[in-house]
Amino acid sequence: MRAKISIWVLCLFLAGCSTVKKHPHFDKRAKEVQTVSVMAPDVQITRIVFKGDNEILFDDGKAASGTILKALETELARRGYDVKPVSTTAGETIAADHEAAFELSKLKERYAALLNDLQKKKGKDFRLTLGSDINRFADMTGADILVFATGSGYVKSGGEIAKGIAKSALIAAASLGTVIYIEQDFGGQLFVSVVDGDNGDILWHNFANPALAYNMTKEKVVRSMAQQVIASYPGRMRFEEVAVIQAAPAVSAEEADIGRAKINLPLETVKMTAKTGAVVTEKTLDLTEAVLKGTLFLGKTVPRTTKSLVQLGATRSSEGDRAHAIEAYEEALKLDRQNPAVHLLLADLYLQEGNLNKAEKYAKKSIQLDGANPAAHGILSRIFLKKGLHAEAEKEMNLFQAPAPVQPTV
Amino acid sequence: MPKGAPLQFFTALFLCVMFAGGCGTSRKEIVPLGQTGLSAKEEKERREIEAMTRQIQADMESRRVFYEEEELTAYLHEVARPFLDGLNLKEEEKANFKIRVLRDPTVNASALITGDIHFNSGILSRLQNEDQLAFVLGHEISHVYHQDVLYYTLNLQRKTVGFKIMDLLLAPPAAFVGASGLSDLALGLFYAASIQGYGRSEEAFADKFALEQMTKTGHDPAASISFFDILLAEKTRYKRGIEIFFLSSHPSNTARKQQASEWLKSNPAKIKIEEGLEKTPSDRFQALTAGVRLQDVKLNLDFRRYFHALELVEKIRGIKKDETMLYFYEGEIYRRLPEERDKIKEELSDKEWEKIKKVEKEKQDKEWRDKAFEAYQKALVLDVAHAETYKGLGEWYLQEQKLTEAAGHFNKYLELKPEAVDRRSVLRHLRDIEELTQKEAVT
């Protein structure tokens, strides 16, 4: 019994722990990344049968591969990356080119081999590379980074499940109910790595915890696995940049026109959230910046508003001057105590400072003012994780991963 | 019941079930390909395995893992043809035997139920002559002709079902001592050991079949001995590369070599017949497999099997005309070795690794780097415009922290090969070098 409790504690611990590993130059390189392509993942699902000659579920494997591909693309686009789909562009070129197709197979094999090395690496930092052969595929799609994924899973046949139940019943009967033995009917794992398109270095790596049971024949489960694994990959825009837009009032049509005129941005490409602006695209950011710049260009005096103070704070923060950034945000808060984004900015900065109590206070206030903002849940999850509150962290992480609100077009 | 009696009882019961399940098929009961006599259950199983195999084949096709060289493929079929003609098969059944080369550096060959025989480039690269090729081919043809995959699967099913029933019976007593999981583990090991590979009798039979067929088709059966020597040498030198099917799942190669020797001794008449036949030409074999060998060097390099790659370079030097490329590969291997000690340890046998470990690391690294430089220089002597070598030297200089020289060689590479597929990585190097140079200038 004690052993079973230990396993549960271990599972909970693993579920709460970060499994992310990074290349030492990840932070530097990640800032330059604009475009990303997800390579079709290799997924193998096996049905374990009573007779022993297990069956490979090819169709389920293909379906899972498609789901993972789509989920990763969607999540990365959600984070502001320009996703170049391999399936519609370079995919055909690769399939037609005999050597390119083999090179890709080889790269995937090498990636699978590197995963073993990666699992052996202690600590969160590592240096592993797929080499310059990656260039061919990064060039085909025009991507800065390529995402590689590989997964495997199993499900048991009816006979095998029946055997498990019978075994469980026999053990329970023999031990007079003191031992409850339960066999898992399915399981799965998924590994995802982000690879530098320039030199093939693996920049970032994460995996879906195999200690948790995943049925990879279920589309919803597979999608959730992929979302979970990529969830901790940073968005294209830095947190401060998102918050600048959050802090700003909704852009009026007139302001948008000014901005558009300044940078020649076609209206139809602009998408943004009208209210919270929690999720923004590259174009939205350009537009907002253009609006701000446009205002300055038109010679208007920039008043000491929440917006200008937040911008100042963001600049200080990007320069690494957290003390002055906090000062600017505190000032902004004095002008607008009900601004959820400013609370969130302060939560993030205090988190970086290691002041977890203050960070928690601001994050919770931000959620109280605007519970629909997933970023606030993401920050709160990280705070709880640092505090060792794994169950709470997981709860907040789930809220962070909830689907993004529909974004109306301006 | 005396202490220990329950365990003895269950062990005895387990062994009974295992042996009852595992010994069901003797070679006498086997129905060869093209003959009638398979039961309905066997027919059904065969169809299922075939369907699964075809799906795997389709997946392999989409990955383009086959080495496509028309002349070589035709040659392999040409060697196989007399073997097939000696069997009781219809023409359409013979046509199902498709022999192809897999771009895989491990030493392996495999036979599928569909009649497809796959030679890994790794095994083809190691063979020295057509007779050795004929031995492997005869062995694999035996597996297809005698439907070993089908009987293996049926045998596996019997053993697995036996094992699982035993697992159920053993679980409760194991639970009493608080080790319900152990019944899985302990039996699992025994179970795994009992079902590995086709089994000794099938492998021994396939070897004997190959030897018999070789004499009939004019090949020297004594080549089997030198073939086993290659495998044994592989096992002595490497840890990696011997994990593969042809070597590890079969009876030990020493035992197989012994069996082949005994067969040769007991069949002098057949050897005599063979002596009267024209010897198979070795030059043709070497010429036709040269392309595979060169590609296998690259594959070994890509999969970080450096000493396999190096051994192959040494082996084909003098045979293959493309010396420049071989020197370039040699340079690449030696350049990478100092940074890949973990991989070297994984690849080499403990004995070989100890030899490397004995040498002081810095001294060893320097020796490798010097050899890399020397090999690159030799490549440039043969072809001053060999672009890849300039890139290799660029990397070499970068490792040596000689930034100016590294940049010079990278630029030369791009000048010679402006459309290189790896242009981006070279440009990245040049950018990094520029940054480093600027930093150095500031400090």
A289-310 residue pLDDT tens? 444 433 322 223 334 567 767 7
pTM: 0.71
pLDDT of residue A89: 58
CB proximity A125 to B under 8 Å: no
Question: What mean pLDDT value characterizes chain B?
Answer: 81
pLDDT tier, A319 (very low <50, low <70, confident <90, very high otherwise): low
A164: closest chain B residue by CA: B168
In Å, how far is B264's CA from the nearest CA of chain A?
38
pLDDT of residue B347: 92
How many contacts does A have with B, using Cβ atoms within 8 A? 106
Contacts of A170 in chain B (CB under 8 A): 168, 171-172
Q: Which secondary structure element, helix H or strand E, spans residue B332, and what is its range?
A: helix B323-336
Q: Which of A58, A113, A198 sits opposite B425 (nearest CB)?
A: A198
What part of B 280-309 touches A (C-beta under 8 Å)?
299, 302-304
**A110·B303 Cβ contact <8 A:** yes
Distance CA A283, CA A69 (A): 24
Structure tokens at A409: 């077009």
What part of B 121-150 touches A (C-beta under 8 Å)?
none
> What sections of A175-266 are H helices per DSSP?
219-230, 239-247, 253-263
**Order of strands across the sheet that contains B116-120:** B66-67, B98-102, B116-120, B109-111
Name the 3-class secondary structure at A215.
Answer: coil
| Residues A286 and A251 sit within 8 Å (Cβ to Cβ) | no
What part of A 179-208 touches B (C-beta under 8 Å)?
179, 181, 197-200
pLDDT tier, B251 (very low <50, low <70, confident <90, very high otherwise): low
pLDDT of residue A8: 34
Task: Give the pLDDT confidence of B285-330 residue by residue, as tens digits.
Answer: 988 998 999 999 999 999 999 999 999 999 888 765 678 999 999 9
pLDDT of residue B191: 39
Q: Which of A106, A167, A200 sits opposite B168 (nearest CB)?
A: A167
**A174·B175 Cβ contact <8 A:** yes
- The per-type count for chain B, helices as H runs and strands as E runs, is 22, 4
Structure tokens at A395: 């709860």
Contacts of A139 in chain B (CB under 8 A): 421, 423-424
Distance CA B182, CA B188 (A): 9
Distance CA B140, CA B118 (A): 9
Distance CA A275, CA A288 (A): 14
**B167·A58 Cβ contact <8 A:** no
In Å, how far is B265's CA from the nearest CA of chain A?
40
In sequence order, the 6+-apart residues with CB closer than 8 A to the CB of A320 are none
pLDDT of residue A396: 81
| Residues B367 and B398 sit within 8 Å (Cβ to Cβ) | no
Task: Give the pLDDT confidence of A145-177 residue by residue, as tens digits.
Answer: 999 999 999 888 888 788 778 777 777 777 776
CB proximity B44 to A under 8 Å: no
Contacts of B173 in chain A (CB under 8 A): 174
Distance CA B295, CA B226 (A): 24
Mean pLDDT, residues A372-388 taken together: 79
What part of B 204-243 touches A (C-beta under 8 Å)?
none
Q: Which of B161, B303, B428 sits opposite A51 (nearest CB)?
A: B161
B58: closest chain A residue by CA: A58
CB proximity B421 to A under 8 Å: yes
* Residue B401 CB neighbour total at 10 angstroms: 9
Q: Which residues pair with A45 in a beta bridge?
A: A153
Whether pLDDT at A74 is above 50: yes
> What sections of A305-401 are H helices per DSSP?
306-318, 322-335, 340-353, 356-369, 374-387, 390-400
Whether pLDDT at A1 is above 50: no
For A25, which DSSP code?
T
Environment class of A268 (CB within 10 Å of its CB; exposed 0-12, middle 13-18, buried 19+): exposed
Q: Which of A393, A384, A316, A389 is nearest to A349 (CA)?
A: A316
Distance CA B242, CA B232 (A): 9
The ipTM value here is: 0.78
Task: Give the pLDDT confidence of B341-390 residue by residue, as tens digits.
Answer: 999 999 999 999 999 999 999 999 999 999 999 999 999 999 999 999 99
| Residues B280 and B129 sit within 8 Å (Cβ to Cβ) | yes
CB proximity A101 to B under 8 Å: yes
| Residues B263 and B211 sit within 8 Å (Cβ to Cβ) | yes
In sequence order, the 6+-apart residues with CB closer than 8 A to the CB of B288 are B71, B72, B75
Distance CA A254, CA A242 (A): 22
Residue from B10, B42, B63, B342 to probe the interface with A (highest A Cβ count within 10 Å): B63
**A56·B56 Cβ contact <8 A:** yes
In Å, how far is A84's CA from the nearest CA of chain B?
18
CB proximity A58 to B under 8 Å: yes
Contacts of B342 in chain A (CB under 8 A): 117
Mean pLDDT, residues A222-244 taken together: 71
Task: Give the pLDDT confidence of B199-208 residue by residue, as tens digits.
Answer: 667 778 889 9
Contacts of A117 in chain B (CB under 8 A): 342
**A179·B171 Cβ contact <8 A:** no
Name the 3-class secondary structure at B232.
Answer: helix
Distance CA A283, CA A289 (A): 10
pLDDT of residue B194: 38
Query: C-alpha dihedral over B225, B226, B231, B236, to 10 degrees?
Result: 100
**B424·A98 Cβ contact <8 A:** no
CB proximity B179 to A under 8 Å: no
pLDDT tier, A387 (very low <50, low <70, confident <90, very high otherwise): confident
Q: Which secondary structure element, helix H or strand E, spans residue B226, and what is its range?
A: helix B223-237
Sign of CA dihedral A273, A340, A224, A76: positive
